[in-house]
A and B are shown apart, each in its own frame.
Chain A
């Protein structure tokens, strides 16, 4: 039986249902709205597991589910060396979101990450501590800034309402996921012009470390119209 993990609520769940439905596979929640149970029809040998989108990468990396729908950003942030454990089967064309760095809009001296680096140097001199960037994407942001050669900054953790941290004086800049940029604008922030750290979208991933015996991935791939992936062949 293939265990397919999908987000347990919201827009992402609905879009996932629609994506599968368009390919002849019906996913549906069963029981009351509050019960996390679901069923699959249109293909045999697949069971559904409803999970928080943020936990799906971890479950795939541990091999507890075979397939999972989540954002590229989640996989890259949460799973070190993700490509050794997880592979992408299909980009699903929704859930588009970019991981970006944003600064206060009135910082007219800052356009690029190079400017941010220069500002960080001056800020540290003026204020006696490293310029704070609020984010929950610590790994992705740190790797990006390291590659860009930025110094004199620190990452401060923000698990939500990150756009508010600057006005609240707990950070000078932020790194967060944005889809339309409306929240940034409402909070008087503006993204750097270098382009996003990562362009993410909802993706159907497969675990390379799950036990694929007794699983018929080939049939599912055929039904979904995907190229037959070279995992789970043994069965």
Chain B
């Protein structure tokens, strides 16, 4: 236990030396905020408790949300924060995973140089984990988002797909439905049925109109669809992955901007001494496990186990929590217990 504490202290000192201000957050977090952000699924992962005055509360499942909230309320820019403490996650029985463990985190809020901030966080983590045999994996949710946003179809279909980017099953079901001519016969509103509940007949009419319009929409372009699929299949060392993605961009030029960012990030990483020629990049990385990340994502893994460290960019989260304000943000956490077990 002492060794874990030392490890925690070492990481925290490293992050403070890198310019981060230490912050603390409450263990009890209002459940509303987390539920609105993650949906009901979070109930299966976080411990829920209730307080007669504060209402439903959750034992913090991560630090990111309270740290972002705090920054949006009172932070000056640019800002770097570090924190250390326990997080709580329900685990499925039999997995043997810890339901209570330490995270030491580092978060950067900076709007001037996103690629530089991405590289700063990754390089700092690589330095913190030096001496332990770990495989680093990277990805970029921003490329996938740009690909979907660039599909030549209706805004409605694009936003339906974007909404389910993190739910691969529903995403695939939508893609399949949008890939063939619409076959659905759209019904009329039946006027003699009693209108009950908060959702009005006007809302039903509006969706029926949307369904009618959608039934007239042409199937997704086959070339674009192949390009989207190809992005998810890219898995190689970073320079090769970038080259493959550039080729894919011929069929889906909308991702070019996101690829320029990837390229800028790779050179920022190289200039910080990261060996990008050996760095794994995969197009689907971070898609199922890290819901709020929307750009650069990374993880340091030992074997196939739970990653020792994870992180990424979460610009959209700051928009949701910022009530009209937003700031580009990137950060990550290291789990000292896992790290110590490997050392």
Contact with B along A118-157 (1 / 0, CB 8 A): 1101110011001000000010001101111111111100
Instruction: Mark out the residues of chain B between 162 and 188 whose CB falls within 8 Å of any chain A CB in the assembled complex.
Output: 163-164, 167, 169-171, 173, 186-188
Assembled-state Cα–Cα distance A109/B169 (Å): 22
Complex A-B: 27 CB contacts under 8 Å: A104-B196, A104-B197, A106-B194, A106-B196, A106-B201, A107-B199, A108-B188, A114-B173, A119-B199, A121-B163, A126-B203, A130-B35, A130-B39, A138-B43, A142-B41, A143-B44, A145-B40, A148-B169, A149-B169, A149-B171, A149-B173, A151-B39, A152-B39, A166-B197, A167-B196, A169-B198, A172-B199
Q: Are A104 and B173 in contact (CB under 8 A)?
A: no
A148 to B39, CA, bound (A): 14
Q: Do the beta carbons of B204 and A109 come within 8 Å of each other?
A: yes
Alpha-carbon distance A172/B196, docked complex (angstroms): 9
Q: List the 7 closest pairs (A to B, CB-CB), nearest first.
A: A149-B170, A106-B193, A149-B167, A109-B207, A166-B197, A108-B187, A167-B196
Q: Which residues of B contact A (CB under 8 A)?
A: 35-36, 39-41, 43-44, 93, 160, 163-164, 167, 169-171, 173, 186-190, 193-199, 201, 203-204, 206-208, 211
Beyond the given A108-B208, A114-B170, please list 4 additional residue pairs across the A-B interface where CB-CB is below 8 A: A108-B204, A119-B207, A149-B171, A154-B35
Alpha-carbon gap, A108 to B35, bound state (A):
29
Alpha-carbon gap, A126 to B203, bound state (A):
9
User: Could you say which residues of chain A place their CB within 8 Å of the CB of B164?
Assistant: 149, 151
Query: Is A235 interfacial (CB 8 A cutoff)?
Result: no
Interface centre among B169, B187, B190, B207 (most CB of A within 10 A): B207
| Chain B residue nearest in CB terms to A132 | B198
Q: How far is the CA of A147 from the CA of B169 in the complex (A)?
A: 8
**Nearest neighbor of A107 in chain B, beta-carbon distance:** B204
B contact residues around A114 at 8 Å (CB): 170, 173
Asked whether A118 and B40 contact (CB < 8 A) given A109-B207, A169-B198, A188-B193, the answer is: no
List A contacts of B206 (CB < 8 A): 122
Q: Which of B41, B44, B193, B199: most chain A Cβ within 10 A? A: B199
Known contacts A106-B201, A151-B164; A188/B196 CB under 8 A? yes
A87 adjacent to chain B (CB < 8 Å)? no
Interface size on A, residues (CB 8 A): 40
Which residues from B are CB-within-8-Å of A119? 199, 207
Chain A positions within 8 Å of B43 at CB level: 138, 142
Question: Are A106 and B173 in contact (CB-based, < 8 A)?
Answer: no
- CB <8 Å contact, A123 and B41: no
Q: How far is the CA of A107 from the CA of B190 in the complex (A)?
A: 9
**A98 at the binding interface (Cβ < 8 Å):** no
Select from chain A the residue with minimum beta-carbon distance to B92.
A81
CA distance in complex: A143, B206 (Å): 30
CA distance A127 to B170 in the complex (A): 24
Q: Are A166 and B196 in contact (CB under 8 A)?
A: yes
Asked whether A117 is an interface residue with its Cβ less than 8 Å from the other chain, the reply is: yes
- In the bound complex, residues from chain B placing their C-beta under 8 Å from that of A167 are 196-197
Cβ contact within 8 Å between A118 and B160: yes
Partner of B40 from A81, A123, A155 at Cβ < 8 Å: A155
- For the complex, is A80 an interface residue (Cβ under 8 Å from B)? yes
Chain B neighbourhood of A88, CB < 8 A: none
User: Given contacts A169-B197, A188-B196, is CB(A106)–CB(B189) below 8 Å?
Assistant: yes
Nearest opposing residue in chain A for B36, CB measure: A130
A105 at interface (Cβ–Cβ under 8 A)?
A: yes
Is B203 touching A106 in the complex (CB atoms < 8 A)?
A: no
Q: Which residues from B are CB-within-8-Å of A148?
A: 169-170
Asked whether, in the complex, the Cβ of B197 is within 8 Å of the Cβ of A146, the reply is no
Are A106 and B198 closer than 8 Å at their CB atoms?
no
Cβ of B5 to closest chain A Cβ, rounded Å: 33
